[in-house]
Structure 1
C-alpha cells in the first residue's frame, strides 16, 4: 500500500535527516543529494521544501529555536507565579529538572547542531539569538533585581558551556552549593 505523507511529514523527515548528517559528518558533509537520500525523498521533493543547503540549515536552526522556546515556556509554566518565576525556570533547566536539560540526548544533539552551524556561518544562529534575547528579556522583567537576574543567567550559561565543551564536571556537592547560592539570590525580602 502506497501512502503519500503530508508535506509537513516530508519536511520533518528532511530536517531529521539534515540533523543526522550534521551530527555525523558536520556541515561540510551536508549536500542536497545526501539530505534527499537520508530522508528518503527525491531531490525534487527536497527542493520543494528547501531550495539550498543554506535553506536546509536555516530550517534546522529555526526548528531548534522553536523547540528551545517551547521547552523554556513549558518550564516557566511549571514554576510558581510571582517574582523570580523565569529565573527559577532557568535554574530548573540548568540543573536537569526540565524535560530537555543538559546531558539529555536531545539537548546534546541540539548543542552539536548549534556548534556546527556556528562554525559554518554564525549568521545561521540568528533564530537562536532571537529566542535567547526573548528569554533574557523575560528574565529581566521577572521582578528580580537585574544584577541578580544576570548572575543566574550567566551561571546557567556557564554550566551549559562547561557541559557542551566537556570543560569540567561539577561534583554533586558543588552543584548543590551552586544551586543554594543562586536560589538565595532569588529570595524576595518583604
Structure 2
C-alpha cells in the first residue's frame, strides 16, 4: 500500500522544487534560504523548518536526484537478461537517455554536492552492492566495473562541461560500450583471454 503524502512531505517537495528552479536559472550562487523562500512563496522560517541550512537543502536535492537516477538505472537493469552485463547495459541505457539533458542543474548540483559527500551515500551503496556481485559471475573479472565507471565518467565529464559529443560520434561511443558489455557474458570467451594465469 502506498503511504499517502503528508502536508509536510508536500511542503518539503515544494521547497526542493523551488531550489531546483533557482539552480536551473542561475546556478548555486543564487541559492539562499531567502531566495528559496521567495521562489516557493513561503516564509524563511517555513523553509528552515524543513531544511536547517543551505547545505541541508543541497543534500536533500542531491538525494532526490540520485534517487531518480537509481530508480531509472534499476528500471533499465530489470529489462536486461540477468548476468554480469545487466548493470553496465542499464547504466549505458540511462546515459544515452540523459546525456544531453538537464545540463545546468546536474552541473551545479554536482559541484555543490562535492562538498557534502554524505549526499552520495545512498548511491554509493547502490553501486557497491551491484559491483560486489560482479566478481561472482563475470568470466573476465573487472570488465563490468570498468564499464560502469567508464560510463559514469562519461556522464560526469559531460556534466562538468569537459566535452560534448553529438550525433554519430556519440552513438558510436555508446554502441561500443554496449558491445563490450554484451561480450562479458559470451560463453565463447576462453578463460585465458582474460589476462589471468
Find runs of 4+ consecutive structure 1 residues off by over 6 angstroms. none
1:31 corresponds in structure 2 to: 32
How far is the alpha carbon of 1:66 from its aligned partner? 1.9
Does the CA-based 8 Å contact 1:14-1:46 persist in structure 2? Answer: yes
After superposition, the Cα gap between the structure-2 partners of 1:59 and 1:40, relative to the gap in structure 1 and judged at 3 Å, is: same
How far is the alpha carbon of 1:133 from its aligned partner? 4.3
How far is the alpha carbon of 1:56 from its aligned partner? 1.4
Task: Flag structure 2 segments of 5+ consecutive residues without an equivalent.
Answer: 1-5, 190-197
1:161 corresponds in structure 2 to: 156
1:102 corresponds in structure 2 to: 99
Does the CA-based 8 Å contact 1:62-1:127 persist in structure 2? Answer: yes
CA distance in 2: counterparts of 1:163 and 1:153, whole angstroms: 16
Of stretches 147-156 and 33-42 in structure 1, the one that deviates more from structure 2 is 147-156
1:86 corresponds in structure 2 to: 87
Count residues with an aligned counterpart.
177
1:126 corresponds in structure 2 to: 118
After superposition, the Cα gap between the structure-2 partners of 1:168 and 1:27, relative to the gap in structure 1 and judged at 3 Å, is: closer
Does the CA-based 8 Å contact 2:143-2:184 persist in structure 1? Answer: yes
Secondary structure, counterpart of 2:142 in structure 1: helix
CA distance in 1: counterparts of 2:104 and 2:164, whole angstroms: 19
After superposition, the Cα gap between the structure-2 partners of 1:53 and 1:177, relative to the gap in structure 1 and judged at 3 Å, is: closer
Per-residue CA distance 1:16-49 (angstroms, 9 max, x = gap): 1111222323323111111100011122221221
1:13 corresponds in structure 2 to: 14
CA distance in 2: counterparts of 1:57 and 1:6, whole angstroms: 21
In the alignment, is residue 179 of structure 1 matched against residue 152 of structure 2?
A: no
Does the CA-based 8 Å contact 2:23-2:105 persist in structure 1? Answer: no
After superposition, the Cα gap between the structure-2 partners of 1:29 and 1:60, relative to the gap in structure 1 and judged at 3 Å, is: same
How far is the alpha carbon of 1:162 from its aligned partner? 4.1
TM-score (norm. length: structure 2): 0.75
Secondary structure, counterpart of 2:116 in structure 1: helix
Task: Flag structure 1 segments of 5+ consecutive residues without an equivalent.
Answer: none
After superposition, the Cα gap between the structure-2 partners of 1:129 and 1:7, relative to the gap in structure 1 and judged at 3 Å, is: closer
In the alignment, is residue 146 of structure 1 matched against residue 141 of structure 2?
A: yes
How far is the alpha carbon of 1:75 from its aligned partner? 1.9
